[in-house]
Every structure is written in structure tokens, then in C-alpha cells.
Chain A
């Protein structure tokens, strides 16, 4: 440690190079620690559970082209076929797909007169098979009964419905008490809550009410419908394709398609988060590479420039290990200075982002991890030139360079 003072003095004598390296390393520290933080945030966003058993599910979209068909009969017939397929655990018609980016939302009210206290929620129209098909966990109350499922036309809307809501929705509407049995309102339509599910996300993961969802036991008799299917593990893709063919062969005039696994839907919905993760990881990789090159080049240069000095040190009794320690310590001193400057830059940026874009402040562990990482990169990059320095023979002290 006693070496540190003379090292700093000698760096200061030729300060342009070291100052530039410190600038480079500290900017790198700021960028890498911030990038690591953003990457970890995005991973957390993507990994939020949707409530569904995502890996084993897919959807198929169906649209009837002839105007005078009874959607209820068609959906029931298709469902029998799908559920009878070996490998299918369960299936349901549903109005829209969770975390798909497209769907319907509404506001629920505890008091139909009080228009200002509203509870926004995603709306899924589905059947008594909804819970099993999506793999949802019922934590209170009961599922829909078969006789509660209501296929209706727009001309004859239902007058009253039973609903199942998510726990988050229940906690918001009825904090501290059970929501089961309570009546809430969607416009003028009264809804009686019969069950609470642990978790289900709406179609839009980035909205404030992302975890508020309401299941209605209804199907509008429209011309199109989504089928959501859950299969045994490992059979998803095969069943998706064979079902597609089967459903098409029943009636070739209709449109059956837009088949997608929930995994694929999720990848599309979060595509900008995935892109950000990949871009930032690549940036971290490139910066590591560029810095390693810089340290390697500079150490090589310093060693070459000071061959004579090293020779003298060796002639005066310094060991090979001593020479190596000197040059390594020099790099460690540079990283230490950069750590201070880089942390300041990172936090100036982070506090600006926190104010301007209401992002979270950079947690300190990301800075610490990056400092250790940069130190390792520096030592590795400097290792080969420093080892060469140690090989310099004491004879060089007296010969002409």
C-alpha cells in the first residue's frame, strides 16, 4: 500500500493519459451500472406472473362469414371437439386474451349514483371453463355454474350477472372485508361477486389497473370469437396445428386462424422490453470490450516507455512480482479514481431521470457490482503486458534503448 503515493505522483507527472482513462472508465461505470439496473427492471416486468399457466396455452381466433348462424351452437360444438382432443386439459371461448395488448375495459362502481369513485378493470367474457382453461386459482367463493352462462344478442342484453374478480380488484373495492356476495355496478348493470381469483392480468400490462380483471359468464353472439386452450405439457404446438385443421375442415367458409401460443403473445407484447434488454446487454458487452482494449493498449505503451526504469528497479533488487505489483496497482488506482467520478456521474443522471421521467433512483449495489466488474476487466486486460514488464531484464538498465 505504501506504493500508492509514488504511483499517484508518477501518474500526475504524465497526467493527460491517466486523466483520459479515468474519464473513459468513469463514463463506462455510469453507463454500465445504469444499464444493468434498467435490464433488471425490465426482466422483473416481463417475469411478473400473468396468473395464467403461460407455457401450455394457445389461442385460436374464429370468425363466421355467413350472417345468420347461431354463435352459441357453433361455439358449443367447437368446444366439444376441442375438449375431446387427447392432450387438451380444458378450453373456453373468451372475448380477449390476457397480456395481448387488445381487449376491453370498463369501470365498476360500488354505488351507481357516485360516478366519481370508479374502479377500472379489464373485462373478460368467458364460461365456466374459464378458470380451468386459464389455470386460474380460485381463493374464495365459487366458479360459474353451467346455467349461469348467458349467450346473448346485442338486442337482448342481460339484466343481472354474477362475476368473478381478481384479488387485487377485490382489495381495492372492498379493503378489509370479503367481496364475495357484494353487488357492484357496470353502468346500470348490477353484478354480484361470487368468486375471487388469486391473480389475472388484463390485456394491457402497462396500465395502472393491470392486475384488476373481471370475468363475466357471458358471450355476445357476434360474428367472431377467441378460443383459449390449455394442453398437457409439451403437446401445445402439435395440438394447435391439428386443431386448426380440424376446425377448418368442419366449415370451410369460416375464418379460423391467428393461432398463437401465449408465450408468443407475451413476447410480442413485451417486445420493446426484450429489445431494450438485448440492446443494453450488447452495450455492456461492447463497453467491456472497448475498455479492455484501451487498458491493454495503454499498459503496453507505459511498459514500453518505461523499460529502462523497470530495468533499473530490477537491477536495484526489485523482484518480478514487485514489478507486476507496481503496474497492477497503477491500474487499480485508476479504477479507484474512476469509481468516485463514475458514481457521481451515475447519480447525477439517475436523479435527473427520477425527476424528469419519474424513474427509480439507481440502487447502490449496481454501482458496486460494476466497480468490481471493471476492476476485474482492468486486471485481466493489463495482465499480459504487465507480465511482459516483469520479464524485462535488469541489463536493460545499462544498455541503450
Chain B
């Protein structure tokens, strides 16, 4: 039976090409706008570390100003001082410990005559690579020894490997970081990109992965150029790098991996002990003294989804609704115009039921065509979004959510815009239309 409906529908659509096209266009515009915004939103609000929500935690310590609370987020500083980060690392309680910072470093090949450029690097402990599921194409993380007494080892991105080594296996090769010789021990795949960058949400949550990684504790020897946030409340006099390391300045991000409930308990106990010993030295006067946050909690606290995005999401649904109403009006007009035809079919014995489904089929064809066209148009929409927002290269891309949403929207669009007209026509009294013939 549905084949017959399909034939009737196609015939009917062909008879009114302009109106059919207008309906498809209306639905397509609505779906395209909606898919574009929905895709953007689904990526912006996603959690790439959801599978580790129970196991890894961003560490916040509250050694901030006794006179006033931290001015943002959950009123606890998002970063640590050097002395606290060092203590956290040295305690060796957690299964994994990552202390890290973003630094701007010049990278060159030895003997290169090219003008040097500065790159965004991450100075970190080795557990970064396992904790954040970093994928390597060559080599892997450096050893634990290389962390503790920092060795001149570096992990570079695939992009850097292409630039400096033309994509060849560069393990064991030497490169200069700020003029010092480092040995390449790993190359990170360009496929590895957390969106958003859960591990460091201070500045740009959607920026590209770092160009290079090297041991964090080189920070103890010299300042390097910090490209992250540096904040302080204490007005201490900082004259030397040693003063800086001992100061209340916060500039380090810290994460711990705690694989079991016992470990979590043990680690909390460690922090409480640490804070109480620090209290004796006059630090940590605020409560709570610390907080551990799962990746999802950390994303929430840092308010990664921009307010504009939430408003655009709402707007896109209203927009879709307007387009659907528009298509419904046109469909209603069209069906009512064909009412005499339906009247004849009814008079010849077709049930209301079959008239209804015949027209719903027609609406479905329009809806499906609209969804398909909308999907194509939303690719253009996403290209537009990438052009509008800097740092959204990784955000405005198609994913499973988009396609699933397209199918769902097509169904909903059809039902919404086709149901009412189909119902109206199937309930029209046939006699009225027969008379005018």
C-alpha cells in the first residue's frame, strides 16, 4: 500500500513544483541552522574524559589570601604554588601525579640558520601522557627518573615532527629548546586532541594541543616564559627565581589519578595532613582547604560553555519551529487545494485512515528531502562558524551527534508539519468538494 501512496505523493509534489520547493527549503533552512548550532554545542559541552570521571581529579588547594576569597570559579584557586605542587609530587601517594604549566619556548634544529620562533609547550610530569590518553606515532613518555632529576628529553607533536624532520622517525634526534639540546623520545599523533582541553582550562579551552612536552621540573632551574596565568595576592618581594618558587604565586596545574576508593581516601588524608602542617606555618587559612574535581566537575566549574552558545542553542530551536510552522502552513494550503481529489477518493471508498496516511507520506517525502538538504547546508554553516570564531577549528566539525540529530529532526519535522494538514484533509466532508466539481 505504501508504494501506492509514494506514487501518489510524488505525482502530487510534481504537480506543484514551486510550492514543494518552498516547503523543502523552509524545512532545510530550519534543520541546517539547528544542526549547525547543535553540533557546535555538543562539542563545546562534551567531556572527552568522561570514561575517567571516577579515576582522575583536578587538584585545587586553597592557600589564597586570608583576607578575601579567590575572585572566580568556585572561590578556590584553580592553580597551585610551586612549593605545594612539589610537595604533591614528592609525596608519591596518588597512582598518577601530573604537575604542569604552559610555557613559550623557542625550538630550532641545532646549527639551524633560520629565524627562531616561539612555540606553545607543556612542561609536565610523564603521567600526563597516560592520564590524558595521549596517542604516540613514535616512541612514548620519558622515564620517571627523567621527571625527578630533569633530563633533557622532549616529546614533540606530529606537526613539529613534520616541520623539523619531514615526518621521519625522529627518536634520538637532537633539537634545541631555548638554546639547550634535548633528545626526542616521542612523537604525539596529530589525532590526539582533547576538545575541550580539560587538563588546562585557564585560557583557551579549545586551542590546539601543545607543540612539545618536556619535564616540568626544569622550571625549578630557570623561569622559562610562562604562557599561562600567573596570579598572586600577597605582594611579597620577589627578586630572584628562588623567591618566586617559594612565593604564594600560583601558576601550576595539578591532576592526580586515584584508581580505587582506598586510594582516594588515602590521598584525601594526605592532603588534610599536609594542610594542617602548613597551617602551623601560617598558610592555608581559608576553608575548604582543598577540593578534588572529576573532569566533568572541572568543566562545570570552569564554565567552558559560553553563555552565547546557550542562547544560540535556544534560538536555533525557535528558528526551527518557525520554519516548521511555515512549512505546515504551506502544506495545509496545498492539501486543501487538492481536497476535491481526496473527496473523490473518499467517495470511491477510501477510508479516512488511508487518506491520512497518503498525505502523511507526502509530508514525509518533503521532510526527508528537507533534512537531507539541511544536512548539506549545515556543512556550509559549520564552515561559517569555523571562520567566525578563532580557536573553533576543533569545535565546528561533524560528528555522530549531528547525523543522529539530522535523522531525528527529519522525523519530528515530518510529523509536526505533516500531521495537522493530513488530519484536516482526511476529516474534510467529501460531499462539499464533490459538489463544486
Q: Is the CB of A255 within 8 A of B118?
A: yes
On chain A, the residues within 8 Å of B322 by CB distance are: 24, 27-28, 31, 287, 290-291
* Known A223-B225, A255-B115, A255-B117; further 12 A-B contacts with Cβ < 8 A: A20-B420, A154-B239, A186-B235, A252-B115, A254-B116, A255-B106, A275-B388, A278-B388, A286-B319, A287-B319, A290-B26, A293-B330
Q: Is the CB of B333 within 8 A of A297?
A: yes
Provide 19 A-B residue pairs closer than 8 Å at the C-beta atoms, listed in order of the A residue. A16-B332, A16-B420, A20-B332, A24-B325, A24-B329, A28-B322, A31-B318, A63-B118, A255-B115, A268-B390, A272-B308, A275-B385, A283-B319, A290-B326, A291-B322, A293-B22, A294-B326, A298-B329, A305-B337
Q: How far is the CA of A253 from the CA of B240 in the complex (A)?
A: 26
Residues of B within 8 A of A (CB): 19, 22, 25-26, 29-30, 33, 67-68, 106, 113, 115-118, 178-179, 225, 235, 237-240, 306-308, 312, 315, 318-319, 321-323, 325-326, 328-330, 332-334, 336-337, 385, 388-390, 420, 424, 436
| CB contact between A187 and one of B30, B235, B315 (< 8 Å): that residue | B235
The yes or no answer to A116 lying at the interface (CB within 8 A) is yes
Q: Which of B25, B30, B240, B333 has the most CB of A within 10 A?
A: B333
Q: How far is the CA of A356 from the CA of B166 in the complex (A)?
A: 53
Q: Is the CB of B330 within 8 A of A155?
A: no
Q: How far is the CA of A297 from the CA of B113 in the complex (A)?
A: 69
With contacts A28-B322, A290-B323, A301-B337 taken as known, whether A17 is within 8 angstroms of B390 at the C-beta atoms is: no
On chain A, the residues within 8 Å of B22 by CB distance are: 293, 296-297
The yes or no answer to A21 lying at the interface (CB within 8 A) is yes
The yes or no answer to A10 lying at the interface (CB within 8 A) is no
The yes or no answer to A23 lying at the interface (CB within 8 A) is yes
On chain A, the residues within 8 Å of B178 by CB distance are: 65
On chain B, the residues within 8 Å of A48 by CB distance are: none
Q: Is the CB of A305 within 8 A of B67?
A: no
Q: Is the CB of A275 within 8 A of B389?
A: yes
Q: Which of B118, B178, B322 has the most CB of A within 10 A?
A: B322
Q: Is the CB of B390 within 8 A of A27?
A: no
The yes or no answer to A274 lying at the interface (CB within 8 A) is yes
How many A-B residue pairs have C-beta atoms within 8 angstroms? Tell me. 129
The yes or no answer to A354 lying at the interface (CB within 8 A) is no
On chain A, the residues within 8 Å of B306 by CB distance are: 272
On chain A, the residues within 8 Å of B390 by CB distance are: 268, 271
On chain B, the residues within 8 Å of A23 by CB distance are: 325
User: Smallest CB–CB gap between A187 and chain B, Å?
Assistant: 3
Q: How far is the CA of A223 from the CA of B25 in the complex (A)?
A: 59
User: Smallest CB–CB gap between B176 and chain A, Å?
Assistant: 10
User: Smallest CB–CB gap between A7 and chain B, Å?
Assistant: 18
Cβ contacts A285-319/B at 8 Å (1 or 0 each): 01101110110111001101100000000000000
Q: Is the CB of B329 within 8 A of A65?
A: no
Nearest-neighbor residue (CB-CB) of B309 within chain A:
A272
Q: How far is the CA of A401 from the CA of B33 in the complex (A)?
A: 41
On chain A, the residues within 8 Å of B326 by CB distance are: 24, 290-291, 293-294
Q: Is the CB of A298 within 8 A of B330?
A: yes
8 tightest A-B contacts by CB?
Answer: A187-B235, A301-B333, A275-B388, A294-B326, A24-B325, A297-B330, A155-B239, A20-B329
Q: Which of B30, B323, B326, B388 has the most CB of A within 10 A?
A: B326
Nearest-neighbor residue (CB-CB) of B224 within chain A:
A223
With contacts A155-B240, A252-B115, A271-B389 taken as known, whether A298 is within 8 angstroms of B321 at the C-beta atoms is: no
Q: Is the CB of A272 within 8 A of B225?
A: no
Q: How far is the CA of A171 from the CA of B178 in the complex (A)?
A: 45
With contacts A65-B179, A301-B334, A305-B336 taken as known, whether A17 is within 8 angstroms of B329 at the C-beta atoms is: yes
With contacts A24-B325, A27-B318, A252-B115 taken as known, whether A17 is within 8 angstroms of B333 at the C-beta atoms is: yes
User: Smallest CB–CB gap between B320 and chain A, Å?
Assistant: 11
Q: Within residues 232 to 289 of chain A, which ones have a CB less than 8 A from any CB in chain B?
A: 248, 252-257, 268, 271-272, 274-276, 278-279, 283, 286-287, 289
The yes or no answer to A357 lying at the interface (CB within 8 A) is yes
Cβ contacts A2-32/B at 8 Å (1 or 0 each): 0000000000000011001101100110110
Nearest-neighbor residue (CB-CB) of A276 within chain B:
B308
User: Smallest CB–CB gap between A12 and chain B, Å?
Assistant: 16
On chain A, the residues within 8 Å of B389 by CB distance are: 271-272, 275
On chain B, the residues within 8 Å of A287 by CB distance are: 319, 322
The yes or no answer to A160 lying at the interface (CB within 8 A) is no
On chain A, the residues within 8 Å of B117 by CB distance are: 255, 257
Q: How far is the CA of A274 from the CA of B388 in the complex (A)?
A: 8
Q: How far is the CA of A255 from the CA of B104 in the complex (A)?
A: 12
Q: Is the CB of B329 within 8 A of A297?
A: yes
The yes or no answer to A49 lying at the interface (CB within 8 A) is no
On chain B, the residues within 8 Å of A252 by CB distance are: 113, 115
Q: Is the CB of B239 within 8 A of A20?
A: no
User: Smallest CB–CB gap between A361 and chain B, Å?
Assistant: 16
Q: How far is the CA of A21 from the CA of B315 in the complex (A)?
A: 19
Q: How far is the CA of A268 from the CA of B33 in the complex (A)?
A: 24
On chain B, the residues within 8 Å of A66 by CB distance are: 179
Q: How far is the CA of A255 from the CA of B328 in the complex (A)?
A: 62
User: Smallest CB–CB gap between A191 and chain B, Å?
Assistant: 13
On chain A, the residues within 8 Å of B68 by CB distance are: 116
Nearest-neighbor residue (CB-CB) of B314 within chain A:
A349
Q: Is the CB of B26 within 8 A of A65?
A: no
Q: How far is the CA of A156 from the CA of B239 in the complex (A)?
A: 7
The yes or no answer to A157 lying at the interface (CB within 8 A) is yes
Q: Is the CB of B330 within 8 A of A154?
A: no
Q: How far is the CA of A56 from the CA of B238 in the complex (A)?
A: 37
Q: How far is the CA of A290 from the CA of B179 in the complex (A)?
A: 61
Q: Is the CB of B67 within 8 A of A116?
A: yes
Nearest-neighbor residue (CB-CB) of B310 within chain A:
A357
Q: Which of A186, A187, A274, A279 has the most CB of B within 10 A?
A: A279
Q: Is the CB of B325 within 8 A of A31?
A: no
| CB contact between B307 and one of A20, A24, A357 (< 8 Å): that residue | A357
On chain B, the residues within 8 Å of A286 by CB distance are: 29, 33, 319
The yes or no answer to A172 lying at the interface (CB within 8 A) is no
Q: How far is the CA of A186 from the CA of B306 in the complex (A)?
A: 34
With contacts A27-B321, A283-B315 taken as known, whether A20 is within 8 angstroms of B328 at the C-beta atoms is: yes
Q: Is the CB of B26 within 8 A of A294?
A: yes
The yes or no answer to A224 lying at the interface (CB within 8 A) is yes
Q: Is the CB of B240 within 8 A of A154?
A: yes
